[in-house]
Every structure is written in structure tokens, then in C-alpha cells.
């Protein structure tokens, strides 16, 4: 499973928390909003406010997405159009949330080896990030179970498909 | 020869019906699923797109605890939405406006030793103090749980934390967690089962054990399990289950073993803007504050208020400070009334708000202005957590918060407690 990143890489440090990505005051029925995440990121990287383009990637340090379980944080980044998050490590709830909603994430120990210029090829199956300059950063290969989840587009499309096949198998047809 | 299974391995193996070790992935039946008015409405909306009935309405616990009472129309709409969802699905266990879910769940007896509990809230790990494998998950995963009653989990590796000795005056469980945060950092236990035990734990009341489990997530842990003894069984109101041994074992292959000698600890605090930015209170003494907060699922229990009352009994809150109190449940609120603690807080000039999550997450009365500084018994001090991104938050024990509220600046509680001792 490959992702090509032709846009910018936005570099962040360690312990980026979900209160920055999606402050509590926005957690109402209106749901995830890309601009909330963008203004949160702009507190750390002022340039991102005007410079972000869909397809850009985040390159971060350790414990990305720590803090609250709010899925809004991952969903807002997906809505924004982040193509992939490459981090030294992720906070576990954020990691699960991202994969469950179909936002690609990969743990890369040496994020410093990822070039800022030229296109990047992120191979989630091999757990590698290759730069146009020939550089290769190696990361933790995603569990096959999680790769499948991403291929399905996340947990909901997978459950819908599974329930549809159960219905067909026992002849009950569609659920009401 | 693999070592004796960790607490996490024992609970998950029993659940799966086969021997599981760290690193293995399996699907587990969920004993209890928790959600609330903040993340519950989108969770139910996602679940309902599947068009299937809820797996078991008696295994779901739903609370209204953050927006208590609603401060904006948008919050009120969330509260209506969650009540409607509970009615639509015939959910039987609820805690509406009763206090933070993690405390009301603990009081409810719905979670106990050996159970697997998941919740759409990162502090769901609090139930680890009851011997439950309890962890936070996101809304989409919870939608899957509501549909199937199952969730895949990877068995975590384990880190042991043995507490020995007894804490000196002015030191409590919150200081123990801050000490661990100083040593391990915010990702020191990432993915791990943090397993607490030893004589220091067994001497702690449940109030204090809940603090240890509650802040396991601040260390990155998946679960914070406290070893199970008579205190646990009595608290959850269940008969001890023969054959269910959930005590720490010397033969377990812990990835790291930590021992904390409680008598060597001093009051600690986490300075802005990270829970791991820990230093002795004495080092930041004198920092001027405008708000002090004692409450939340971390710091709003009876033990917390007793230690705060010890400081506030003969003192008043400084005129430059607002001290906010939000008991962690209605049960605690009534006990505070019965014990005379509310009288002490009222006489000291504190602002007592209803049981709930309070200003911890910047959602209710007590948000901070740009440039303000707060000291709080809650668990997070990220930028913008309690209001303005330009505010500064210090995390500390309820005793330290109370001491600071009386002087208007960060204050080591031991000095005030020692003065009381002399005057007595």
C-alpha cells in the first residue's frame, strides 16, 4: 500500500496533544472541522495557516496525538487533507483512531532522514519512506490486520461490508 | 521459560479462554462500554449508520458529566442528543449530571476485577484501580463495539510500580504520579500496562488508588492496573472470586520495574505546558496565581477534600484568587456536606460548583483568560486546556492547590501544615 507525497512536509516536535489539535470548546454536534486543526497547528507553526495544501504530510517526533481520546483530532486532520502522518511514535488512542477512520500513519524512528524536498514514496506495507534523493527511512511495519483496515477505508466501511455479507449468507437481506 | 503472566495478561487470557502473552492480538468481549455527552452523540450517529440493534443495552453506561449544567446552547443540544440516544436504544445504566463518569462508574459497582471496560474517554483507565482492564478508545471504534460487543486488543507489555513505605504529611497519590511522570516522561509507558502494587498501594484507600490508575494515560499507558485485595472487592461490592489472583508476582517478566519509597517523596508540581514538566513545589513557590481548582476525575474525591480542608480550616482564600471546587460525584458531595467539609470551604470563600468535570477541560465555569495562571488538582496542563492558549497551568496535589489558594501564590503545603501543628 503506497502513498505519494508531493506536497510539503510540516515538521512538529514531540508530544503534540489533542487539546492543541482540537480544543474542547469545539466538541459539539457540528463535528470535525479542518479549520480547527489548522488553527491549532498554526499556534506551533504560524506558516501553516496560509501555506497548507491538501496532500501535505506531517512529520513529527514522539507521542503524536497524546491526551484526550477525542477522535475529532484525527478526523479534523483527515478533513484538512493530510496525506500521511510520519512520527517517531504515536499515542495509542490517536493511532487507533487514525487507522479506524482511514488516515494513514507510520512510525518512523529516524524522521530526520526524511527529506523536505522532492516527492516521497511512503510504502505502508514495507514500512519505508523513500525520498527522490535516494534516502530511505525505515519504520515499524503495520500489523497486517491494520493494513487491511486501511485498505478497507477504516472500520465503518469494513463493518458495513461484513454485515452485508452476513446478511447475504443467511438470506435475511438488508437490515432495517 | 516465560515468566508468570502480568496482571494484563491474566485478565485478557481469562477473557479469551486461552493463554495470551504480550504482543498477541485477539478479539475480546466487552463487559462494559462507557460513553458520555461529548463524544457519545457522534458515536451513536456513526453506530446507527450500520442499521443493526445495539449489542446489549445492559452493558453500556452513558453519562452527562462535562456539560453540567450546559453553559451554551450547543452543549445543551449535545445533552439532549445523548438522552435521546439512550432512550432510542433502551440503555439501562446512566449517570446523568451525577459527576465525572470515571468516579460514578467506580461507585456504581458495574466494573470490577477481571472485567474488560472500554470508553470514549482517555481517563477510562481509572477503572484499573478496580482491577478492570479499562482503556480509552475513539468514537468509531466504540460504534463497532456497540454493534458487535467486541473489540480487538493487543496484549500490552507490562511495567511494575511497587510502592513501599508511607507518605509524609502533605504528600498524596497525585505526588506519586507526578514523580513517575518526572522519571518516565509522557511517553515512558506508551502502550504498556502500568501495574501498581506493594505495601504502599495496599495501605491506600480506593480514592488514592483511583488517582494512580487515572493518570496512567498521562504516561502513555494503555491501562493502569492496581493489584486487587480486600479493599477492592469491598469497594465494588462483589464477593472475592476464587482463583482470580490479581496481585503482582515476583516472577513476571516486567519490561521495567520501578520502586517508589513513599517516605522519600515531597510535594511536586508539573509546570506549563506538560504533565511531565515536573519539579518540587518548593522550586516554583511564589508564582502568582489567579485560579485554584480542586476537582475532576483526578482530584475531586473525599480524600482530596479532607486534605484540602486541613489547610483551609483556619484560613481564607486570598482575595486575588478564585478557588473552584467540583466534587467528583453526588455521593462525594453529600459526604462533604455530612462531614462539614462544605462548611469549611464556604467559610474559606471557595466557589463550590456542581459535581462534574468542571473547568478541567476548559468547558465549564472557570475558564482562564490570556495571561492568567492556575494551579489545579486535575490531570492536564496542555496549551489552551483550560481556556486561553495564553494561560499557564500548574498541576499539583489537592493539598498544594489549597495551600496556594490561601496565599495567592504557589505554596508548599508542608509549611502551613507544620504551622498548624505548632499552634495546636
Q: How far apart are alpha carbons A35 and A15 in whole angstroms?
A: 21
Same domain, B21 and B109: yes
**Which string of b and e fits B318-336 if b means at least 16 CB within 10 Å?**
beebbbbbbbbbbbbbebb
Domain boundary among B262, B295, B315: B262
Q: How far apart are alpha carbons A150 and A162 in whole angstroms?
A: 15
Same domain, B239 and B301: no
Q: How far apart are alpha carbons B321 and B294 in whole angstroms?
A: 13
Contact check, Cβ <8 Å, A160/B38:
no
Q: Which one, of B78, B61, B60, lies nearest residue B69 by Cα?
A: B78
Which residues are B387's β-sheet partners?
Answer: B368
Judge whether B138 lies within some domain. Answer: yes
Task: Judge whether A28 is closer than 8 Å to chain B, CB to CB.
Answer: yes
Test the B interface: residue of A39, A68, A89, A150 with most B CBs within 10 Å: A68
Contact status, residue B220 vs residue B188, Cβ threshold 8 Å: yes
Same domain, B135 and B189: yes
Which residue of B lies nearest to A39 if distances are taken between CA atoms?
A: B389
Which residues contact residue A94 at a Cβ distance below 8 angstroms, ignoring those fewer than 6 apart?
A: A18, A64, A65, A66, A73, A74
Same domain, B244 and B344: no
Instruction: Say whether pLDDT at A159 is over 60.
Output: yes
DSSP characters for B64-119?
Answer: E-SSSS--SHHHHHHHHHHHHHHHHHT--EEEETSS-HHHHHHHHT---TT-EEEE
Judge whether B287 lies within some domain. Answer: yes
Q: How far apart are alpha carbons A90 and B202 in whole angstroms?
A: 33
Which A residues 99-128 touch B at CB under 8 Å? 100-101
Domain boundary among B262, B288, B323: B262
Q: Which one, of B235, B270, B241, lies nearest residue B103 by Cα?
A: B235
Q: What is the pLDDT of residues B321-358, one digit of tens each?
A: 999 999 999 999 999 999 999 999 999 999 999 999 99
Residue A80: in which H helix or E strand, if any? helix A72-80
Residue B2: in which H helix or E strand, if any? none
Judge whether B382 lies within some domain. Answer: yes
Which CATH number belongs to the domain containing residue B352 in this structure? Answer: 3.30.499.10
DSSP characters for B182-242?
Answer: HHH-TTTTTT-EEEEESHHHHTS-HHHHHHHHHGGGGGT-SEEEE---HHHHHHHT----T
Same domain, B294 and B312: yes
Which B residues 286-315 touch A at CB under 8 Å? none
Q: How far apart are alpha carbons B278 and B307 in whole angstroms?
A: 21
Same domain, B281 and B156: no
Q: Which one, of B314, B300, B95, B125, lies nearest residue B223 by Cα?
A: B125
Mean pLDDT of the A24-46 span? 87
Q: What is the pLDDT of residues A62-87, one digit of tens each?
A: 999 999 999 999 999 999 999 999 99
Task: Judge whether B84 is closer than 8 Å to chain A, CB to CB.
Answer: no
Q: How far apart are alpha carbons B91 and B211 in whole angstroms?
A: 29
CA B202 to each of CA B103, B205, B207: distance values in angstroms, whole numbers, following the listed order = 20, 8, 12
Contact check, Cβ <8 Å, B220/A92:
yes
Counted domains in chain B? 2
Judge whether B62 lies within some domain. Answer: yes
Contact check, Cβ <8 Å, A67/B140:
no
pLDDT at B326: 98
Which A residues 30-59 touch B at CB under 8 Å? 30-31, 43
pLDDT at B344: 98
pLDDT at B1: 63
Look at chain B and count its residues: 424
| Residue among A23, A29, A69 whose CB faces B136 most closely | A69
CATH code given to domain A2-170: 3.20.19.10
Contact check, Cβ <8 Å, B220/A63:
yes
Which residues contact residue B292 at a Cβ distance below 8 angstroms, ignoring those fewer than 6 apart?
A: B317, B321, B322, B323, B324, B374, B375, B376, B401, B402, B404, B405
Task: Judge whether A21 is closer than 8 Å to chain B, CB to CB.
Answer: no
Residues in chain B closer than 8 A to A63 (CB atoms): 186-187, 190, 220
Residue B333: in which H helix or E strand, if any? helix B330-339
Q: How far apart are alpha carbons A5 and A21 in whole angstroms?
A: 22
Distance of CA B201 to the CA centre of its chain: 16
Instruction: Give the count of beta carbons closer than 10 Å to the beta carbon of residue A13.
Output: 10
Distance of CA B210 to the CA centre of its chain: 6
Same domain, B274 and B350: yes
| Residue among B50, B74, B190 whose CB faces A92 most closely | B190
Same domain, B336 and B211: no
CA B18 to each of CA B25, B31, B118, B199, B228: distance values in angstroms, whole numbers, following the listed order = 12, 18, 21, 31, 22
Same domain, B285 and B383: yes
The model's confidence at residue A174, banded by pLDDT at 50, 70 and 90, is very low
Instruction: Give the count of beta carbons closer than 10 Å to the beta carbon of residue A45.
Output: 14
Mean pLDDT of the A160-170 span? 77
CA B34 to each of CA A52, A97, B28, B251: distance values in angstroms, whole numbers, following the listed order = 37, 17, 16, 34
Q: What is the pLDDT of residues B100-144, one digit of tens each?
A: 999 999 999 999 999 999 999 999 999 999 999 999 999 999 999
Instruction: Say whether pLDDT at A176 is over 80.
Output: no
Q: How far apart are alpha carbons A153 and B150 in whole angstroms?
A: 20
Which residues contact residue A165 at a Cβ distance below 8 angstroms, ignoring those fewer than 6 apart?
A: none
ipTM above 0.90, yes or no: yes
Domain boundary among B262, B281, B310: B262
Q: Which one, of A4, A31, A1, A32, lies nearest residue A149 by Cα?
A: A1
Same domain, B250 and B288: no
Same domain, B205 and B274: no
Alpha-carbon radius of gyration of chain B: 21
Distance in Å, alpha carbon of B303 to nearest chain A alpha carbon: 25
Same domain, B198 and B309: no
Contact check, Cβ <8 Å, B186/A15:
yes
Contact status, residue B321 vs residue B408, Cβ threshold 8 Å: yes
What one-character DSSP code corresponds to residue A141?
A: P
Which residues contact residue B134 at a Cβ distance below 8 angstroms, ignoring those fewer than 6 apart?
A: B111, B115, B116, B117, B118, B119, B124, B125, B126, B127, B128, B213, B223
pLDDT tens across the length of chain B (424 residues): 689 999 999 999 999 999 999 999 899 999 999 999 999 999 999 999 999 999 999 999 999 999 999 999 999 999 999 999 999 999 999 999 999 999 999 999 999 999 999 999 999 999 999 999 999 999 999 999 999 999 999 999 999 999 999 999 999 999 999 999 999 999 999 999 999 999 999 999 999 999 999 999 999 999 999 999 999 999 999 999 999 999 999 999 999 999 999 999 999 999 999 999 999 999 999 999 999 999 999 999 999 999 999 999 999 999 999 999 999 999 999 999 999 999 999 999 999 999 999 999 999 999 999 999 999 999 999 999 999 999 999 999 999 999 999 999 999 999 999 999 888 7
Range of the domain at B314: 270-423
Judge whether B289 lies within some domain. Answer: yes
Amino acid at each position: 500500500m503506497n502513498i505519494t507525497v508531493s506536497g510539503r512536509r510540516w515538521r512538529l516536535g514531540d508530544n503534540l496533544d489533542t487539546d492543541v489539535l482540537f480544543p474542547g470548546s469545539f466538541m459539539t454536534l457540528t463535528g470535525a472541522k479542518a479549520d480547527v486543526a489548522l488553527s491549532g497547528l498554526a499556534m506551533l507553526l504560524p506558516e501553516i495557516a496560509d501555506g497548507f495544501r491538501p496532500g501535505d504530510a506531517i512529520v513529527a517526533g514522539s507521542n503524536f496525538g497524546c491526551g484526550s481520546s477525542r477522535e475529532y483530532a484525527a478526523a479534523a486532520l483527515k478533513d484538512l487533507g493530510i496525506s500521511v502522518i510520519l512520527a517517531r511514535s504515536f499515542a495509542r488512542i490517536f493511532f487507533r483512531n487514525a487507522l479506524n477512520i482511514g488516515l494513514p500513519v507510520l512510525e518512523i524512528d529516524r524522521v530526520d532522514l526524511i527529506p523536505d524536498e522532492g516527492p516521497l514514496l511512503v510504502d505502508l506495507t514495507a514500512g519505508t519512506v523513500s525520498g527522490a534523493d535516494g534516502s530511505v527511512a525505515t519504520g515499524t511495519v503495520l500489523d497486517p490486520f491494520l493494513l487491511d483496515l486501511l485498505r478497507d477505508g477504516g472500520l465503518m466501511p469494513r463493518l458495513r461490508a461484513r454485515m452485508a455479507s452476513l446478511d447475504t449468507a443467511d438470506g435475511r437481506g438488508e437490515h432495517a | 521459560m516465560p515468566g508468570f503472566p502480568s496482571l494484563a495478561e491474566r485478565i485478557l487470557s481469562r477473557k479469551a479462554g486461552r493463554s495470551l502473552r504480550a504482543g498477541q492480538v485477539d478479539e475480546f468481549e466487552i463487559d462494559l462500554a462507557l460513553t458520555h455527552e461529548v463524544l457519545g452523540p457522534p458515536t451513536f450517529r456513526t453506530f446507527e449508520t450500520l442499521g443493526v440493534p445495539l449489542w446489549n443495552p445492559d452493558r453500556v453506561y452513558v453519562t452527562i458529566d462535562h456539560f453540567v449544567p450546559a453553559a451554551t446552547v450547543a452543549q445543551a443540544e449535545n445533552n439532549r442528543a445523548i438522552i435521546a440516544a439512550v432512550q432510542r436504544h433502551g440503555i439501562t445504566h446512566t449517570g446523568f449530571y451525577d459527576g465525572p463518569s470515571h468516579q460514578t462508574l467506580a461507585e456504581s459497582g458495574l466494573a470490577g476485577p477481571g472485567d474488560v471496560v472500554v470508553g470514549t474517554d482517555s481517563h477510562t483507565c481509572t477503572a484499573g484501580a478496580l482491577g478492570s482492564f479499562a482503556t480509552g478508545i475513539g468514537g468509531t471504534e466504540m460504534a463497532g463495539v456497540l454493534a458487535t460487543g467486541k473489540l480487538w486488543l493487543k496484549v500490552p507489555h507490562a511495567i511494575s510500580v511497587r510502592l513501599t513505605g508511607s507518605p509524609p504529611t502533605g504528600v498524596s497519590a497525585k505526588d506519586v504520579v507526578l514523580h513517575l511522570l518526572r522519571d518516565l516522561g509522557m511517553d515512558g509507558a506508551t502502550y504498556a500496562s502500568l501495574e501498581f502494587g506493594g505495601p504502599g498501594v495496599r495501605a491506600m484507600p480506593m480514592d488514592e488508588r483511583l488517582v494512580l490508575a487515572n493518570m496512567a494515560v498521562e504516561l502513555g499507558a494503555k491501562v493502569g492496573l492496581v493489584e486487587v485485595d480486600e479493599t477492592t472487592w469491598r469497594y465494588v461490592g462483589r464477593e472475592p472470586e476464587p482463583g482470580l489472583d490479581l496481585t503482582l508476582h515476583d516472577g513476571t517478566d516486567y519490561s521495567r520495574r520501578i520502586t517508589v519509597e513513599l517516605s522519600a517523596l515531597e510535594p511536586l508540581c508539573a509546570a506549563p505546558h506538560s504533565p511531565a514538566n515536573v519539579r518540587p513545589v518548593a522550586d516554583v513557590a511564589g508564582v502568582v496565581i489567579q485560579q485554584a481548582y480542586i476537582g475532576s476525575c483526578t482530584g475531586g474525591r473525599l480524600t482530596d477534600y479532607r486534605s484540602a480542608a486541613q489547610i483551609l480550616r483556619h484560613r481564607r482564600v486570598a482575595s486575588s484568587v478564585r478557588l473552584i471546587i467540583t466534587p467528583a460525584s453526588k455521593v462525594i458531595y453529600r459526604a462533604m456536606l455530612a462531614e462539614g467539609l462544605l462548611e469549611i470551604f464556604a467559610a474559606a470563600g471557595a466557589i463550590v460548583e456542581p459535581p462534574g468535570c468542571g473547568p478541567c477541560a476548559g468547558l465549564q465555569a472557570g475558564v482562564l483568560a490570556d495571561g492568567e495562571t492556575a494551579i489545579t488538582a486535575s490531570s492536564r496542563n496542555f496549551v489552551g486546556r483550560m481556556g486561553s492558549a495564553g494561560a499557564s497551568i500548574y498541576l499539583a496535589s489537592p493539598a498544594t492547590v489549597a495551600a496556594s489558594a490561601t496565599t495567592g501564590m504557589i505554596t508548599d503545603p508542608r509549611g502551613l501544615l507544620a504551622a498548624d501543628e505548632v499552634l495546636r
